[in-house]
A and B are shown apart, each in its own frame.
Chain A
């Protein structure tokens, strides 16, 4: 504690190292039932068997933005990537954050998962809190068909402009890419 650093216009004190249990407790105390499930997994490696903790946290969509805001205040995280699963009736987005980096073997990987029903595939963009999320949000938008509300740039990123609208390559339902590659010779340029 003590030193200050300026992130996103906010002056913050240098972070205290939080253990995986402390991180989970902080969230469950603050958000109670909005945190649906938490799991801490520790993996050890090498001869000395030092451990690294992986936190898996399922949260309710309604508290999503508040939880990310709370996380940024707790400690400004590094957002590694957002990955997504098509679970049939819903799409699950998993935000992979890392905390406590800069300290020897203290980094904790925090995976926050949020489920969106296919009837309402909208979630708030977190680019205002973590500007580095833009690339990964744009990717999820075109590959899974999730709409990020408030995203500063919603153009396609990886997919070609001539790919028809409404085709999402990572979806496993009728909006998936199957019909495109099955009869490739019939596709009109």
Chain B
């Protein structure tokens, strides 16, 4: 890391091993000039679990369940992106009904994830009441997930060529009832996050990512959309049933008329996307055609078909945190893929952290770091332990600083 050219001597603090916002390991080394951040260095790999390597001894259907365990929150987007890549390689056409069901599960995951994030963001700046309020809503979303898939977290709903469970006519009233609950509470959440004076003070002009930086650093998801870049796999490409649905890019100017690329804009984008997801699920329930839900229901037959596949493919899906891409190559001999590469959205959102954090204060670290909604388990996939015999500013200390800053602003 290059030394700062300021005349005052700067000092460095490592913030390790737990992420300052989410309870996940990542190594931050900050170069500080007083309270101000001059430079940032990020080190990764603390929870790399060699998942791509583990796939070498598994068949594609087994990999679905391995992919599901890459991340606890995105337990749908990884297996589905893998399925898309495999379907593209083996030329499997997914039945229309399954395409709609895939959208419903994808959007439900987005609702869970964004509301979880909203709670964490509130906690980071000291609003624990809002944390409990948002997570109460998330609980409903998890109940709905359980009702539709049979599981709350690892959903096991994906199958290559379709999905594993249908949403039958008698299930629809319960889904609609939950959607109504989300809609009613959405307005309440929107008021708290977007109109509250303290929220605005902590998040406006904080952690700015310019449009130019977002493009150059290849940022993805709500992080890049909050900077005004129109990039959303659901709108940009035709996959699942998104091509049939009414959907548009969510950028902060829809609400405020301007794009600043700060933490506040990222809150706006995520909240508006919750509303968009509710709307998309409703559209799907309306338009869903009847028919089969999986291309090949017999697993043994499917595996035999995949064993013959020879070639490569990519699968792209818009996860709650942004574009997830999986690359798969089959050699036509082995059951296990020759290569499998997973790229989670946080992977691309690491470099944008650096311009966001530069120039901010120590107390802003938690909220700025949290504003990209990072997911370290997704990004890392083998194990490491870092050197730690230096002064550590731990998570509790950092959280205390952040809460104190909010209190100061409220006075």
Contacts and interface: CB of A to CB of B under 8 A. Distances in A.
Nearest to A129: B216
A111 B241 CA distance: 24
B231 A158 contact: no
A77 B381 CA distance: 27
B328 to A, nearest CB: 9
Interface stretch (A43-51, A61-69, A117-125): A43-51
Contacts of B88: 41, 43, 54
Given A80-B316, A135-B351, A85 B339 contact: yes
A111 B384 contact: no
Interface stretch (B44-52, B119-127, B138-146): B44-52
A135 B348 contact: yes
Nearest to A52: B237
A2 interface: no
B218 A159 contact: no
A158 B51 CA distance: 13
Given A46-B99, A50-B243, A158 B380 contact: yes
B235 interface: yes
Interface in B352-411: 380-385, 387
B329 A85 contact: yes
Contacts of A27: none
Interface string A102-123: 1111110101000000000000
Given A47-B244, A157-B45, A79 B239 contact: no
Given A48-B244, A83-B339, A132-B348, A158 B53 contact: no
A81 B215 contact: no
A50 B234 CA distance: 13
Given A102-B231, A131-B351, A52 B238 contact: yes
Nearest to B233: A107
B237 A107 contact: yes
A6 interface: yes
Nearest to B87: A43
B30 interface: no
Contact of B99 (A7, A45, A104): A45
Interface string B331-357: 000000011010100011011000000
B282 interface: no
A177 B52 CA distance: 13
B238 A50 contact: yes
Given A76-B215, A85-B329, A103-B236, A45 B45 contact: no
Nearest to B231: A101
B339 A46 contact: no
Contact of B212 (A6, A81, A160): A6
A: interface residue count bin: 35 or more
A156 B287 CA distance: 49
Interface in A51-105: 51-52, 54, 56, 76, 78-81, 83-86, 94, 96, 98, 100-105
B152 interface: no
Interface in B50-65: 50, 52-53
B306 interface: no
Interface in B224-263: 229-231, 233, 235-244, 249
B94 interface: yes
A169 B382 contact: yes
Contacts of A104: 235-236
A162 to B, nearest CB: 9
Contacts of B189: none
A158 B44 contact: yes
A5 B94 CA distance: 39
Given A80-B348, A81-B343, A96-B325, 8 more contacts: A45-B239, A81-B348, A107-B236, A132-B218, A132-B351, A136-B347, A170-B53, A177-B53
Interface of B: 43-45, 48, 50, 52-53, 88, 94, 96, 99, 212, 215-219, 229-231, 233, 235-244, 249, 287, 289, 312-314, 316, 323, 325, 327, 329, 338-339, 341, 343, 347-348, 350-351, 380-385, 387
14 contacts: A6-B212, A49-B243, A51-B238, A52-B239, A83-B327, A84-B339, A94-B327, A103-B236, A105-B238, A105-B243, A156-B45, A157-B43, A158-B382, A160-B385
Interface of A: 5-8, 41, 43-52, 54, 56, 76, 78-81, 83-86, 94, 96, 98, 100-107, 109, 111, 130-136, 156-161, 169-170, 177
